[in-house]
Amino acid sequence: MANIFPPNTNKRFYGIAALVALAAAFVLGGIYYVNFSIPEYEPVQPVRFSHKLHAGDLKMSCTACHSAAQRSSRAGIPDTKSCLGCHQHILPDSPLIAPLREAADPQYPGYTGEPVRWVMVNRLSGHAYFNHMAHLNRGIGCTSCHGDVAGMERIRAPRDARMQWCLDCHRNPAPHLRPLEETASSRYSAADYLRTHSIRDGEGKSIQTPLQLGNFLKRQWKIQPKTDCTACHH
């Protein structure tokens, strides 16, 4: 009977070389994937809504539109009706506002009632659990995770919203903690906060630096984010 795989050293050499090449490709591919292949995601939206204008120039707080974030796991996208509260009066005839009126203004000749289909930007795959409320009620602000949204014309997803990013903060939360009334501020700086507020720790010592403030809040609220697998993977 013919041997299908004769003990041929040459062939074996090629086999091993192919395996080594494959392993190298995996390792390099892995490094490439982790370091470079998570581009910032900035999709075009069906309405040219600008956070820079609304949260930046007009100084609306993040929870003016995403109020669900403080009481549920999701932050939610505002209903188009809430936009018309202003846009019935502000630029109602602008072509940029027309899609909002088509969706939610029954008086508008082009009314369809079809909701605006915003493109989702931040989304974890199904196997990790995330909760907005658990962060906002414990001193982590929107901009700590989503970046300077009030400076963005169009929303960009954080480049590294991966497990390592969650864990880095869970292991060392103090530098990110801020007073609870500041978690939904569109712009927060601990240094500015300390210039306008005088805060003393338990022993009456004045708090001077952002890190002292973070460490103080961590102790005062007994902040201890979990790092065991089951905290985020059920």
Q: 178: closest CA among 128, 232, 220, 149?
A: 220
Min dist CB 1 to ligand HEC, Å, is 46
**Interface mask toward ligand HEC for 68-107; x: CB under 6 A:** -x----xxxxx---xx-xxx--xx--x-xx--x-------
Give the pair of three-digit tokens for residue 206. 């004045």
Non-local (6+) Cβ contacts of 75 within 8 A are: 66, 68, 69, 132
Q: How many residues bind ligand HEC (CB under 6 A)?
A: 78
Dihedral of CA 88/153/144/146: which sign? positive
Q: Does 47 bind ligand HEC (CB under 6 A)?
A: yes
Q: What is the 3-state secondary structure (H, E, C) of 76-93?
A: CCCCHHHHHHHHCCCCCC
CB of residue 49 to ligand HEC, shortest distance in Å: 4
Please, which of residues 135-154 interact with ligand HEC by CB under 6 A? 135-136, 138, 140, 142-146, 149-150
Q: Which C-beta is closer to ligand HEC: that of 20 or that of 114?
A: 114
* Residue 117 interacting with ligand HEC (CB under 6 A): no
Shortest distance in whole angstroms from residue 12 CB to ligand HEC: 35
Q: Are 198 and 206 in contact (CB under 8 A)?
A: yes
Region 203-222 residues binding ligand HEC, contact defined as CB under 6 A: none
- 44 lies in the binding site for ligand HEC (CB under 6 A): no
C-alpha span between 8 and 28 (Å, rounded): 30
142 is known to lie in a ligand binding site? no
166 has binding-site annotation: no
